[in-house]
Amino acid sequence: MEFGESVSECARREFGEETGRSVELIDVLGVYSDPREQTHRYPDGRVVQFAGVVFRGTAGPVVRPLAGDTVEVRWFASSELPANLMACDAPIIRDALAGDRLRPIIA
C-alpha cells in the first residue's frame, strides 16, 4: 500500500499495474497471513511471510501497458492452472474456486 491509500484503492492500483486492466471489486475473498501457508523462500535464499487482503472482482478493459515486472497476462481454466504457481497462492486459489461470498467491500 502507498501512504494515504485504502486497501481497496491499493487493490485497484496493483491490479492495474500488474494486468494493464481496470477492475471492479466485488467483495473480500479473505485475509491471508498464516505463516504455514504464506511463507515463501526466494531462489536467492530470502524468506518472507506475506499478509494480504484478497478481493474478488471483475476485470475491465485494458487501460494501460503492463508494468515492468509483468511479462504476460493470461486466463486459465481451473483445471489447467500452471504447475509453477507460488505455494502461498494455493489457499487463495482454493477459496476462490470454492465460490463462497464473504462480505461486501467497505471502502
- End-to-end distance of the chain based on CA atoms, in angstroms? 14
Q: How far apart are CA 14 and CA 29, in angstroms?
A: 16
C-alpha grid cell for residue 55?
478481493
pLDDT greater than 70 at residue 101: no
Confidence category of residue 9, pLDDT binned at 50, 70, 90:
very high
The pLDDT, as a whole number, for residue 60 is 93
Angle subtended at Cα 40 by Cα 55 and Cα 44, rounded to the nearest 5 degrees = 130
Q: Which CATH number describes the domain made up of 7-104? A: 3.90.79.10
**Cell 504447475 maps to which residue?**
83
The pLDDT, as a whole number, for residue 102 is 55
Share of the chain above pLDDT 90, in %: 38
Q: Please name the residues in contact with 65: beta carbons below 8 A apart, sequence gap of 6 or more.
A: 20
pTM score of the predicted model: 0.77
* Strand-strand pairing, 21-32 and 103-104: antiparallel
The pLDDT, as a whole number, for residue 99 is 75
The pLDDT, as a whole number, for residue 85 is 85
Domain coordinates in residue numbering, the chain: 7-104
SS3 31: strand
